[in-house]
Amino acid sequence: MTANRITLNLGDTWITGIEEAGRPGMSLLVCLPGGGYNASYFDVPGYSLMDAARREGFPVVSLDRPGYGGSTALKGEISFRRNAQALQEAITELWRRHLPTAPGIVLVGHSVGGAIALHLAAGDRTWPLLGVSVTGIHHESRRSNEALKSAPPGSSMEFSREHLLRFMYGPEDTYDPGVLDLAKHTESPVPVAELVEVAGQWGTDFAGITAKIEVPVHYGLAEHEGFWHSSDASVAAFGNAFTAAPSVTARRVLGSGHNIDHHYVGAAFHKEQLDFARGLISPAQ
């Protein structure tokens, strides 16, 4: 099923995305894709978190982050912090629309989108956050950002198929190769500034951000990560950084590469994320 396109007019900026309606009383899921992917990352046919959420009755929105899809690009500095500022306004508008029916919001973020979701969870908000589920993000990068620093400011790059196979998917027995063609329409140029930050400054900033998060956290890191050091110890270390969260579920997702959603284990992981969201209650309850 193809999700409905939406456009949020925030004055001098636009944020676009896709949405599926849900049942009254269910939390609103707001999904943020990673670097190099637009909102449809979460809605690939046969691998769709949005379809799984719809079947369970959750209203769900996946947003094009600034500079992706039809969303207005950031002017000047491109950073996770400024992404979060722009998306905070967009989520405020989404919450206004869902206020009569949803008890609160659960953020779902993948990779760079996961880092930005954590920025949102740690900051001031005008909407009730119930919890956050993130994948594909850590603080111990396997890649240096030195080569990227020489790229022209504001430039973008596209991942080649070779890069996708190596970094996003991993071992051939963990996914159906046809998923790359199914997901082709979800690919977008990634601002080089995002790659520089995720492999550099993010590793310094993350502890101060995670320490401010006061909602339940669900976290998964792929066994066959192309970007991060992945081990039981590294996953535990990242989970332990959420010192103010009332609960943290952190695990290594075996049999998967970086894009967990698009692997054979993706459907089971989606169920885990939705079970996490279902178990959250509004702070007012």
Instruction: Give the model confidence (pLDDT) of 152-208 as tens digits.
Output: 878 999 999 999 999 999 999 999 999 999 999 999 999 999 999 999 999 999 999
pLDDT of residue 94: 97
pLDDT at 230 over 70: yes
The structure's pTM equals: 0.96
Measured distance CA(103)–CA(133) in Å, rounded: 17
CA distances from 168 to 82, 145, 164, 209 (A): 25, 17, 5, 25
Instruction: Give the domains, in start order, of the chain with CATH numbers.
Output: 4-278 (3.40.50.1820)
Instruction: Give the model confidence (pLDDT) of 122-166 as tens digits.
Output: 999 999 999 999 999 999 998 766 667 777 878 999 999 999 999
> Rg for the chain (alpha carbons), in Å?
17
Q: What is the mean pLDDT of residues 82-110?
A: 96
Split at pLDDT 50, 70, 90, the class of 285 is: very low
Q: What average pLDDT does the chain have? A: 94
Instruction: Give the model confidence (pLDDT) of 15-30 as tens digits.
Output: 999 999 999 999 999 9
